[in-house]
Amino acid sequence: MDKSHKNKDFVKDAILKMGELSESCGDMKLPSELSLCSMLEVSRSTIREVLAQLIQEGVVYRVRGKGAYLRRGLTSLNLDLTKLFSVSDAIKSCGLSPKTILKYKHVKTASQLVASKLNIDEGDKYVEIKRLRYANDKIAVFNIHHFRLHAIEHASDDALCGSLFDYLEETGKSISYAKTKIKSVVLTQRDIPEMEVALEPFILLEETYYSDSGEVFCYTEDYYSDEIFSFDIIRRRS
C-alpha cells in the first residue's frame, strides 16, 4: 500500500474515531478542512478526498454555510413484520421525535397496474398521496399511497399528516390485514429531493390493505430507511 492510501485510511479512521469519542448526541459537526489538516498533519487535498468518499458512503454530509457533519447512527427500530404497526408510535418507542410532511395529494386515473392492485377498472379515479416521515429530522419513511377514491377523497391535509389507519376507522373503514412484498432498493435525490446524500438504501414494502370482508382500501409503496429500520419475521419448516 503506497503512502497516499495509508494517509487516506489514517484520515478516515481518525474522522470516524471522532464520532466514537464525542459525548454529544446527534450528528457531530466536523472541524474545518484547515483544522483537520493541522490536526492530522496531512494535505488539504487528502482531507477533501476522504470527505468526498465519506459523503458518497453516506457517513458524512454537508450543510451549506455550516460545514460538514458526521452522521451519528440513530437507534435502529427492529419491528415484527407479521404485525401492522404505526410508524409514528414505533419512532416514539425509541425516544425519537416523529414528524410527517404531506408532499402530494392528487386524484389520478388508474393505470393497469394500480387498477389491478386496487381491484378497480383501468381508467377509474383514485387518490395518490406522497408523505415523508421523519425521526429526529432524518428521513425514516417515504410513503406513496394509492387509495380508492371513496376511502380518502375528502380527508383534510391535517388528517393526512396523522394516522391514516385512525382516519379510516373514524370514517367507518377498518383495515384488518395486508399482503406484503419486500424488496431492497436504492433511492436517489431525484426520488426524494430532501435526501442529504445522493444515494441511500431503503427497504421497500409493497402492501395492499384489506378489510375483514376482503375489500381493498389502498395499495402502498413504503420505503423504510435501511439506516433506521430493520424487520423480523419468523419462518418455520414446512
Q: Are residues 111 and 29 in the same domain?
A: no
At 75 the pLDDT is: 53
Predicted TM-score of the model (pTM): 0.69
Q: Are residues 103 and 178 in the same domain?
A: yes
Strand partners, 130: 104, 144
At 228 the pLDDT is: 83
Q: Domain for residue 230, yes or no?
A: no
Residues of the chain with pLDDT under 70: 1-6, 22-26, 58, 72-77, 238
Give the residue numbers spanning the domain of 207.
87-225
At 177 the pLDDT is: 92
* DSSP secondary structure letter of residue 59: S
Q: In what order do the strands lie in the sheet with 125-135?
A: 98-109, 125-135, 138-148, 216-225, 199-210, 177-188
At 6 the pLDDT is: 58
At 1 the pLDDT is: 42
Q: Are residues 50 and 97 in the same domain?
A: no
Q: Are 18 and 70 in contact (CB under 8 A)?
A: yes
Domain CATH code at residue 203: 3.40.1410.10
